[in-house]
Chain A
Amino acid sequence: MKTQILVVDDDAGSRNALTTLLRDEGFTVIGLPGGREAMEYLRESPPPKLLVLDLMMPDVDGWDLRHAQKQDPRLAAIPVIAVSAAGKLPDADAQFRKPLDYEQFLVAVRRYVKPA
């Protein structure tokens, strides 16, 4: 099944909980622990419909990933929702602060993706 949402977060607890919840809503979700892994995934797989990005991550962080995405015409149009404990991604389509207000987050997700 084609992946709809890519969740990138180095915090395993947050990442696992969020991917499980989104799957429960009927979305196809993949969770990855860092920017480098996400870049590899995006390069090799069909583009998802939505990126959910943590910002503060080791190595390639959320800002780096967003920058790389916008450089790639194939990926540039994918909407991005930033979810972070601190910091802001100025050109994100939506911003959320941890701990996440899940109901609001779901409204934002549904704006870009319909459950499979």
Chain B
Amino acid sequence: MELRPADSAVASARDASSRFQEARVVTPALAFGFIAIVLVLVVGVVVALANVGTVYRAAGAVAHTSAVKTQLQALLASLIDAETGERGYIITGNDSYLEPYTRGVAAAATELGRVRQLTADNPEQQIDLDRVAAETRVKLDELAKAIQARREKDFEAGQAVVLTNVGKRTMDGIRAVVARMEAREDALLASRTVAADRAYNTARWTALTIGAVGLVVVAALFVVTRKVGTERKAAVNLAEQLRVTLSSIGDGVIATDAVGRVTQMNLVAERLTGWTEGEARGRRLEEIFVIVNEGTRQPVENPIKRALSERVIVGLANHTVLIARNGPEVPIDDSAAPIQTPDGSVQGAVLVFRDVTARRRTERERSNLIAELQAAVHTRDEFLSIAAHELRNPVNAVQLQLVGILRAFQRGSGGAEEMGSQSFRDRVSQANAQVGRLTRLLDNLLDVSRIRGGSIALELEDVDLKDVVENITSQFLAEARPGQVTVNAPQPAVGRWDRLRLEQVVSNVLSNAIKYGEGRPILISLDHDAHAARLSVQDHGIGIAPEQQERLFARFERGVSQRQYGGFGLGLWITRQLVEAMGGEITVASRAGQGATFSIVLPTSGAAAAERGKST
């Protein structure tokens, strides 16, 4: 099928819609990108927090280990202080040497409490700490016993307590347990340092990974955003391009939504409907686009309706007229198509229509021309048939006369005597008259083509119309009844005319009067003045109805039926052409059944007058 403007507009609308669709597909990608960035940030923050916690805890653990070790060393130092004070006192017996002892005893208790606190979460250290506490008590008891012995007795008694070696053993025990506790703390420190390193590494890699992912997502988002921007720009450009295209289309275009309300219309549509786009938008199409059948004036169904309901392209019925808002009517041709998205849903419809006034006119002219041509062909065919029939009568008469002559010869009486007889002479002269009649018919036919070709050659000379009338009348005496024709021509009427054509004119009018005169009297009158001659031929025959009178002078026409009155229907047409060629005029006055009077006025200056008439 040929793609009409309407269809291509629909196709481009469809294309545009699919491009808008693509633009819409990009937008979720954009949203996804933003969601991804948010996710990456959230994950990054959570992981970073977790890693910071781990690193923080590892650092705390290292500090804790150092604190435990410091406290343990402080415990040992306080015990050593206490022992130093005890030894000084034992040796001197001087109470002032007990000061380090007193401080060390107090500090040891404090340090023990601190270590207990610091290792409260470690059962192994607590157990060892219990041992250290027990040994500390034993050590402090031994120191107290030694001091008591020196104070109560003497140096040797104090020395004896020391020499029991309980103090040294206890101190060695404490040192060993403290060393074990320190080693345990060191082991803990090592593992905590590894954990801290791991946490740091994890944090670093996580940060790097999240940073990289973030960068990728941001880059993707940038690309997508750019694409969306480009698409949106393209969509806007396309929409603008479509709008311009729509307004430039030479046909009227109206787009509607899915329920048939106007969404858009172009300039041509505005001009044809009489509505502006602003006024029409949102109204039902039936309100804007009022169409009726040209002939019946019945409303025509709006094609948009079917396009929407059946989803097909609908052409308009022929002979539809659009009635504009302000009244004017325009014959139109149109089609409507649904606007479908690629997924098949109908978003609306588009109506394309055009003013076909010129085409209708051309069609009408063409059909008129065809009718005229057909009529002309019909006339020609009819004329040929009439001509063939018309020629039959004179040929028939000639043939019968010849048969008579032939039979006379066959009877053996065709001698000089027979040939001299009246009947023989009658036959020959009648045959001759019929040949003359045939010649006139043929001349008429020839005249038609001459006149049609515009080449009536007139041979002008001084002619007396009175002579011509009398001469022709005498020739027709045989055809008329005796005394039927009266000539009233008191004076000669001389003018510059073509004698033969003038004879043809008088002969045609007179033969007409005889043919249709029903045998009743015919009066030929002639008079003239300085400028013109007037000839009238009046019969009392069948007459001509007024409505037939103009047709009378047309070619191939006659006032009566061919069936009853033969003839080519050319006589009066030729007569009129000849009279007008000589600058004259022929008219008829008649009523049906009451005879007819043909009047011919001929200027005495003949063709010269005709020439003058033409030049004005």
Contact = CB atoms under 8 A, between A and B. Distances in A.
Interface of A: 11-14, 16-18, 20-21, 24, 56-59, 61, 85-87, 97-100, 102
B272 to A, nearest CB: 57
CB-based closest 3 A-B pairs: A13-B397, A17-B400, A85-B392
Given A61-B564, A99-B396, A17 B401 contact: yes
Interface in B427-452: 427, 430, 433-434, 437
A25 B396 CA distance: 19
A56 B564 contact: yes
Given A58-B516, A85-B389, A86-B389, A17 B564 contact: no
A4 B390 CA distance: 29
Interface string B510-554: 000001101000000000000000000000001000000000000
Contacts of A56: 389, 562-564, 566
A85 B156 CA distance: 193
A98 B393 contact: yes
B485 to A, nearest CB: 15
12 contacts: A12-B479, A13-B398, A13-B434, A20-B423, A56-B389, A56-B566, A58-B564, A58-B565, A59-B564, A86-B392, A99-B395, A100-B400
B479 A102 contact: no
A20 B396 contact: no
A60 B408 CA distance: 35
A14 B563 contact: no
Interface string B253-291: 000000000000000000000000000000000000000
Contacts of A102: 399-400, 403
A61 B563 contact: yes
B407 interface: yes
B515 A58 contact: yes
B566 A85 contact: yes
Nearest to B562: A56
B394 interface: yes
A57 B561 CA distance: 10
Given A56-B563, A58-B564, A21 B399 contact: no
B478 A12 contact: yes
Interface string B131-171: 00000000000000000000000000000000000000000
Contacts of B565: 58
Given A56-B563, A56-B566, A14 B427 contact: no
Given A21-B407, A58-B515, A87-B563, A99 B478 contact: no
